[in-house]
Structure 1
Amino acid sequence: MKLKRTYRFAIKTSFYITLFITLLLGVFLYTFYTINWGLILAFAITCYLFSFIVIQLRVERFIYRRVKKIYDDLTLLESTSFTRGSITTDMGTLTKEIDKFARDKKLEIETLKVREKYRKEFLGNISHELKTPLFTVQGYILTLLDGAIDNKDIRKKYLERANKGVERLSYIVKDLDMITKLELGDLSLNFEVFDIVELVNNVFDMFEMRAHKKNITLTFDTDYTKPILVNADKERIQQVLANLFVNSIKYGKEKGTTEVSIENLIKNKVIIRVTDNGEGIEKKHLPRLFERFFRVDKTGNRNVGGSGLGLSIVKHIIEAHEERIYVESEFGVGSEFSFTLEKAE
């Protein structure tokens, strides 16, 4: 049977101590007295057992106290994890624990670095998003205060533009508030059974005029003559579809198409796909596509409008339903966003 290293150490050390003391005793008896082999054997056994017990217990306690101090200092293990039974100081176990601690700390540090980078980018993005409409509103108001308010036509035009800037600020704050609630779980979902085909048609009607301006066709991949019932929050899923359609129209090409398909995924799931033949997205941008304020266009161009939070909201709503969202895109060809929903019985 393979012994623990501490026992092997105690056995060997006790043997060396016993051998030395027994030889010393033998020399002493040989020099001054008559050698009694029985006495020497009994002494050797007693000395060995005593040495083994003392070495084993003392060394283990010595190591244990220092190992526990290391554990407590590094908060690797709580004190409750040390049982009150026999003390163990197996170096293999200790090495594994320290290695695990080192790996966990390395991963934690790397995660913190990624989060710090994300935090800096997020603060920069939100600063830019808020700064643009704020400066716009401030510019128009200052112009009016400088005397343009006396001109009726300019006054009305500048107030309308300032109002648009305020509306954009409201959109950003509203979307940020929604994302925060979704992340914290404070935004309750109202599950109900509804026809997803009917809902898509309603969203088509909402964006028909906007799509018509770019000659983009909103259509299904086929005629859905029968209702497809799903169990979800109807209002939130409408918001998901609206955000996906907005992006599809915004980045779609003239005389393009935005197509919706609804397919049975598994027995109790359906998948809704929103496909367009617009600009497409480069592969390197796909992993960060659902981050807040992340934009593929790094030039800072905001001509396309929007709060920059649409896809992030989409992701959080779908995940709040405990469902999945997917994206596939080829630059210059088009994109496809798809998400799953629970099918109603």
Structure 2
Amino acid sequence: MQNKIKKTYKFAFKTSLYITIFLTLLSSVFLYVLHSIDVLYLLSFAVFTFLISFIVIQYRVERFIYRRVKKIYDDLTLLESSTLRKQPITTDMATLTQEIDKYARNKKVEIETLKVREEYRKEFLGNVSHELKTPLFTVQGYLLTLLDGAINDKNVSEKYLNRASKGLERLIYIVRDLDMITKLEVGDLRLNVETFDIVELVESVFDLLEMKASKKKITLTFDMDYNSPIMVSADKERIQQVLTNLVVNSIKYGREKGTTEISVENLIKNKVIVRVTDNGEGISKENLTRLFERFFRVDKSGSRKEGGSGLGLSIVKHIIEAHDEKIYVESDLGVGSEFSFTLEKSE
């Protein structure tokens, strides 16, 4: 505090001291000429001169800086005038300069962040429009064809109705996933935390996706035999959704006759880490940073034919973060990928 006061009033102190010395010496010469030098008078004069000079100089310089610098702030729209009124502006120009630089840097970061968000918003709206437009136009096309007379042909009508139904299922899938992400982001989705065996849950996911994997001759397996249960505390239904989305992705982008392997390892005393590893296409480094964005696809052309809402990994990330846990991804292009996430181990 003493250093701050000393630094803040240094200019006024030194200037007042110079004025006091000059006037005191001048008074001494004047009194010497009159042959009436009074030491007590000179000392009182010096103290009075110093105090008056210090107060006047400090006040005037503060007002000068306030008016001039505030005008610069207003002209450049760098700082609101209310910010200046919170504390007096002093003659400490170094601190003032630092505050201006700090404020300017913060504003620059804020502007850049807003630009990134605006680009993300535009891209997100474009992706939503595209994802919804494709099944909507598909359903519309089949229904219009049926209304134009194809409904009278039993074989054609049944085939077109089935295709329209699939289009509607895709629409429902996208809207449902969007609704879930929104709830996760605003904290409206409540987690039903319970204790369960993560190994048993992985086995159930394998059973569920066995037929899907067999179409590409992909083997779903553990890294080792887990003879005893591994109990964790989490929302079982949501973690099943996480595992399902990760395994489905590994099947989609896995190579023919490939492997999807899951391991469960102790991380620290009260944590386990679940790893989902495949030997599929892999992901390039420039795409890794955007992998969990909504509707982001690594393969813009081919991935849509695989189906899905394009929201799977985003949902995975939100669910894991809702548990206050972490999710990681490592990948080498042409070698394969590994997604891993942590869970709290049950007592």
Alpha-carbon distance in structure 1 between the residues aligned to 2:343 and 2:16: 70
- Give the superposition deviation at 1:14: 2.9
TM-score (norm 2): 0.88
Indicate the residue corresponding to 2:36 in structure 1. Answer: 36
Gaps of 5+ in 2: none
Indicate the residue corresponding to 2:123 in structure 1. Answer: 121
Check conservation: 1:4, 1:90, Cα contact below 8 A.
no
Deviations 1:72-123 (A, max 9, x none): 982597589549xxx8552222222222111111111111111112111111
TM-score (norm 1): 0.88
Q: Which residue identity lines up with residue 15 of structure 2 in the other structure?
A: T
Alpha-carbon distance in structure 1 between the residues aligned to 2:197 and 2:8: 70
Deviations 1:205-253 (A, max 9, x none): 1111111111111111111110110000000000001101111111111
- Give the superposition deviation at 1:20: 6.0
Indicate the residue corresponding to 1:247 in structure 2. Answer: 249
Indicate the residue corresponding to 1:236 in structure 2. Answer: 238
CA distance 1:221–1:7, change in 2 (3 Å): closer
Check conservation: 1:220, 1:259, Cα contact below 8 A.
yes
CA distance 1:269–1:96, change in 2 (3 Å): same
Alpha-carbon distance in structure 1 between the residues aligned to 2:292 and 2:249: 13
Indicate the residue corresponding to 2:201 in structure 1. Answer: 199
Alpha-carbon distance in structure 2 between the residues aligned to 1:80 and 1:205: 68
Check conservation: 1:6, 1:56, Cα contact below 8 A.
no
5 Å-filtered alignment, 1:313-328, equals 313-328=315-330
Indicate the residue corresponding to 1:74 in structure 2. Answer: 79
Q: Which residue identity lines up with residue 210 of structure 1 in the other structure?
A: K
5 Å-filtered alignment, 1:30-69, equals 34=34, 36-38=36-38, 43-60=45-62, 63=65
5 Å-filtered alignment, 1:191-340, equals 191-299=193-301, 302-340=304-342
- Give the superposition deviation at 1:53: 2.8
Alpha-carbon distance in structure 1 between the residues aligned to 2:278 and 2:341: 15
Instruction: Give the root-mean-square deviation of aligned CA atoms.
Output: 2.9
Q: Which residue identity lines up with residue 37 of structure 1 in the other structure?
A: I
Report SS of the residue matched to 2:296.
coil
Q: Report the identity percentage.
A: 73
Q: Which residue identity lines up with residue 339 of structure 1 in the other structure?
A: F
- Give the superposition deviation at 1:67: 6.7
Deviations 1:281-332 (A, max 9, x none): 1111111101000011133751111100000000000000011111111111
Q: Which residue identity lines up with residue 48 of structure 2 in the other structure?
A: T
Gaps of 5+ in 1: none
Indicate the residue corresponding to 1:158 in structure 2. Answer: 160
Report SS of the residue matched to 2:51.
helix
Alignment size in residue pairs? 340
Q: Which residue identity lines up with residue 253 of structure 2 in the other structure?
A: Y
CA distance 1:25–1:300, change in 2 (3 Å): farther
Report SS of the residue matched to 1:186.
coil
Q: Which residue identity lines up with residue 244 of structure 1 in the other structure?
A: L
Indicate the residue corresponding to 1:93 in structure 2. Answer: 95
Alpha-carbon distance in structure 1 between the residues aligned to 2:215 and 2:282: 20
Alpha-carbon distance in structure 2 between the residues aligned to 1:64 and 1:205: 73
Check conservation: 1:285, 1:296, Cα contact below 8 A.
yes
Check conservation: 1:76, 1:101, Cα contact below 8 A.
no
